[in-house]
Each structure stands twice: as structure tokens, then as C-alpha cells.
Amino acid sequence: MSFFKVETRNVSLYYGNTAALKNISLGVPENKVVAIIGPSGCGKSTYLRLFNRMNDMIDDVRVEGEVLLNGKNIYADGVRVEEVRKRVGMVFQKPNPFPKSIFENVAYGLRINGVTNKRYIEETVERALRQAALWDEVKDNLKKSALALSGGQQQRLCIARALAVEPSVVLMDEPSSALDPISNAKIEELIWELKKKYTILIVTHNMQQAARVSDWTAFFYLGELIEYAETKDLFTNPRNEKTQNYITGRFG
Amino acid sequence: MTHLDSELNRLKAEIEEMGRLVQHQLRKSVQAFVDMRKDLAREVLFQERRINATELKIDRDCENIMALFNPVAIDLRLVFAAFKINSHLERMGDHSKGIASYALDLRQPLPEKLLSQLDLFSAIDQLENMIESNIMAFRDGDSAKARKIFQSDAQLDSWNRKAMQSVIDFFPEHPDLVPELLNVASAVRKLERIGDLNKNIAEEIIFYVEAHVLKHEKEKI
């Protein structure tokens, strides 16, 4: 068993012979937001993608160690990728709604999981849109194409789509870096709200965002976890000099 | 050097300037008091305005750095420390001004015997050195230097006790000098307060450099 909702134990990941992640042990408690920061190429996105086995799609990738979701190793023999992804929602940097209606975008996960009960789908779509703070803006236009929404609305739609299947964990990879400041603020408020129900891992280049939204922050550098601490401690008194140099903008 | 670094260095330079102003004010005010030089005392009162203006300038710069650069970690602590050191220095300026106004109140020169017992200038030398050490420690991020201030303050405290005793001993023989002696006691007390403020500044420097909070701790280690 694991005390954490998600956890990695001594995880290393190799692209061929190159180690992209080196012996990472890190746990995320339930209903907490963990931010992962670090310079480009430090392995933070690779780390995030461990949890829904997105790295599996790349050739020549090898994962060592254990990646636990609700205490179970999702890389163990016999674990089906689809089962893992059902329990792990993901939101990407660029909003990627399907070219379908707003309603169908959110209902999509339920439908491919074989849910047919119309009333249940409607209720779930409304709940997910409300959780994603989008309901009031779209409730009268649910049949409209998702592509007609603004960038910020599209991103919240993608969050609603991820939430509709009630995942255990939500992964966010730079979820608001392509958005304007108002949409960005909405996403950040949303993350704050969502953690009441979900456990969230967020990768961000924006250190102020990490500071604002997360409970814990992990600093990655060259595939290593340099420091993992409560966000308020990491941003006021980092223990490691590399962390200090990075967050104060004096790197290298 | 990053843009933020240059702003932080400027902040340190301003604190240094503020410290120098306070050093001058302090020496001048005590000189005015000891020699009953009202011209010098008025100069101190006039210069006080410059200290206040510098305080406001530093406050504004701290605010701007916070708003524009969102400093974190050691940079954040530096700005916080500068903000508080600024206020401590300004209080020292106020105390100097207070001593200068006692000088204006004097109706007759203070007796030589009392002045030699008080040894006010050794206290001033000590305080000037403390301010100097603090300025240097803040500029160089040298918390070991800041820690030495605690010993200096202890010495100043023992000077204060002796000086107070001298004033008390003087009262019975000099009933005609009661208002002057009360002012002397107040001036001595103000110098002691300036020592305490130097200790507070040293605490801020240690917080800035080491993220270690010493405030309200009896043992300053």
C-alpha cells in the first residue's frame, strides 16, 4: 500500500541508453496539488506522462521502478493501459477539443466507456462543466461546436472532458501557458477548487503559477529530483543551491 | 548581473546611504548636547527631513521590486530585510533628533565631572561601529559579522547601567540641575535604544542570509 494517491518509487526512464529520469521517488497525497518545475529538458513532462503511460507510445522507452496509482503499480504485468487512462485525466498546453459539439466533447469519455444512459450522461456533462467553471458560459449553447469557443473556454472544456470520467488524478502539462491573463487566472482558480475533489499534478514553466496553485513543489534538473518541499518553503527558503539559483533566475 | 540583481544592489546602496546619514546625525546630536551647541542641534533637526525622505524612497523601492519582480527565496528575504532595516534606521534618526532637541532645552552647560563619568563619546564610537558593521554585513550578506553586533550591544548595555548610575549619583548634590539631569538620563536611554535597534538590524541580516528567525529569541546564536 501507499500513503500517497500517486507515487513513484525509484523510477528511472530511458530513451534508448539515455536516462531521462533518474531514480525519482516522489509521492503526492490525496487532494493536494503538486507542481513540477525545472528548465526545459529536465524531465518534468516525461515524469508527468509516467502516470498515464503516455511514454509507452514512444519507441525504445524503458521504465524501471514502480509507479503507483492508488497503491498499485501501473507498470506491472497485466495492467491494461486503457484502465490506467480511465483513472488519470490529462490536460495539455494547447487546448485540444474534438471537432464536435461542446456537449459531445464532455460526453466522449463516457460514451467510449460504453455508458448509454442518456440522463446519466446529461447529468455528468453538467456536473463536469460546472466543476470546470464553464457551465454558466455554455449552458445555452451545448450543441455549438467546441471549436467556436475562446482559447480559455476551450481549455476549461478540456478540463471538463477530463473530469467527466471521474479520474483519480488530473495531470496538467502547462495548462495555461497559451492563454491570456484572465483565462490563466480562471484556470488557476479552478485548480484551487478542483483539489477539493481531485489530486492534481501540474507541470509549469511559470514559477509564480507554481507558487500560487500548488501545495508542494518538485524541482527537476537534468532528469533528477533536486528538491521536493512544501511550496511555501521551497519559494522562501530552498534547501538546495540549484533550486535557489533556478527560482531566483540565476541559473547556469 | 540580472536586472533584479542591479535593483537589489541599488537597494543595498540606499540602505548604506541611510546608515551613513544616521551615523552623522547621531554624532552631531551628542556633540550638540555635550557642548551645548544649539546651532549644531538645529542642523540635526533640519537633516532629519533628509532621513525621512530617504526612508520613503527606500519603502517605495521595496514596494516596486515586490510588484515588478516577484522576488523569491533569498531575494525576497533581502527585500523584506531592507524594508525593516530601513525602518529601524529611521527610528535611530528619530532618537538622534530627540537628543538634539534636549540640547536646545539646556539652560546651562553640563558639569565637566558628569560628562567625563558618562563617557558619551565612547558610546557613540561603539554605536557608529555597530551601524558600520551592520551596513557592511548587509552589503556583503555576512551573517557572521551581523552576529558580532549582539556582543557589542551587551557592552553598550553595561555602559548604559553605569551611565544611569552616574546620573542618579549626581542628583542629590545638584538640585539646580534637575531638568538637565533628566535630559541626560533620557539621552542615555535613547543611546541604549539605538543599540537595541542595531541588534534588530543584525537579526534582519541573519534572516536575509540564513532564513533563520532570531526575533524574540533570548539566545541569539
Q: Transcribe A103-117 into DSSP letters.
A: HHHHHHHHHHTT---
Confirm if B153 and B199 have CB atoms less than 8 A apart: yes
Mean pLDDT over residues A228-241, rounded?
Answer: 94
> What integer best gives the mean pLDDT of chain A?
93
Q: Structurally, what CATH architecture does the domain formed by A6-247 represent?
A: 3-Layer(aba) Sandwich (3.40)
| Residue of A172, A176, A171, A196 lying closest to A186 (CA atoms) | A176
**Under 8 Å between Cβ of A49 and A17:** no
Q: Average pLDDT in the A170-180 region?
A: 91
Report residue B105 as a C-alpha cell.
532645552
Q: Report residue A183's pLDDT band, with 50, 70 and 90 as the boundaries.
A: confident
Q: Are the C-beta atoms of residues B149 and B126 closer than 8 Å to each other?
A: no
Does the residue B191 lie in any domain? Answer: yes
The pLDDT value recorded for residue B45 is: 97
A:206-225 residues touching chain B, CB 8 A cutoff: 207-208, 211
Contact yes or no for B35/A211 (Cβ under 8 A): no
Range(s) of the domain holding residue B104: 3-210
Contacts of A244 in chain B (CB under 8 A): 73-74
Q: Would you list the domain boundaries of chain A?
A: 6-247
Q: CA of B69: which chain A residue's CA is closest? A: A248
B66 touches chain A (CB under 8 A): no
The conformation of residue A36, written as its DSSP 8-state character, comes to E
Average pLDDT score over residue span A172-190: 90
Residues in chain A, overall count: 252
pLDDT level of residue A2 (50, 70, 90 thresholds): confident
Tell me which amino acid residue A208 is: Q
Identity of residue B144: A
Confidence bin at A201 (pLDDT 50/70/90): very high
Give the CATH number of the domain where residue B67 resides.
1.20.58.220
The answer to whether residues A217 and A35 touch, using CB atoms and an 8 Å cutoff, is yes
Strand partners, B152: none
Q: How many domains does chain B have?
A: 1
Q: Are B120 and B189 in contact (CB under 8 A)?
A: no
At residue B44, the 3 state secondary structure works out as helix
ipTM: 0.72
Is B72 within 8 Å of A247 when comparing Cβ atoms? Answer: yes
To test the contact with chain A by mutation, choose from B1, B3, B72, B206 the residue with the greatest count of A C-beta atoms within 10 A, namely B72
Name the pTM for this structure: 0.83
Q: What contacts A60, CB < 8 A, 6 or more positions away?
A: A15, A16
Q: How far apart are CA A162 and CA A178, in angstroms?
A: 19
Query: Residue B110 domain-assigned?
Result: yes
In chain A, what percentage of residues exceed pLDDT 70?
99
Tell me phi and psi for residue B36, to 5 degrees.
55, 45
Residue type, A210: A
Q: Does B71 touch chain A (CB under 8 A)?
A: yes
Rounded (5°) CA angle A174-A246-A68: 50
Q: What is the pLDDT along chain B (221 residues), one digit of tens a residue?
A: 788 999 999 999 999 999 999 999 999 999 999 999 999 999 999 999 999 999 999 999 999 999 989 999 999 999 999 999 999 999 999 999 999 999 999 999 999 999 999 999 999 999 999 999 999 999 999 999 999 999 999 999 999 999 999 999 999 989 999 999 999 999 999 999 999 999 999 999 999 999 988 888 877 76
Residues of chain B positioned with their CB less than 8 A from the CB of A239 = none
Helices A102-112 and A151-164 cross at an angle (nearest 10°) of: 20
Cβ of A249 within 8 Å of Cβ of B2? The answer is yes
DSSP B36: T
CB contact under 8 A, A236 and B71: no
Cell of A18: 539515455
B111: left (phi over 0), alpha (psi -120 to 50) or beta: beta
In angstroms, the CA B134 to CA B88 distance is 12
| B2 interface with A at CB cutoff 8 Å | yes
Distance from CA of B151 to the nearest CA of A (A): 27
Say what the pLDDT of residue B221 is.
64
Q: How many Å apart are CA A79 and CA B149, to the nearest integer?
A: 64
Residues of B in contact with A236 (CB under 8 A): 72-73, 76-77, 211
Q: Looking at the predicted structure, is the pLDDT value of residue A1 above 80? A: no
Q: Check A248 against B70: CB less than 8 A apart.
A: no
- The neighbour count for residue B210, using CB atoms within 10 Å, is 15
Q: What is the pLDDT confidence band of residue A57, given thresholds at 50, 70 and 90?
A: confident
Q: Is B76 on the interface with A (CB under 8 A)?
A: yes
Query: Is B192 an interface residue toward A (CB < 8 Å)?
Result: no
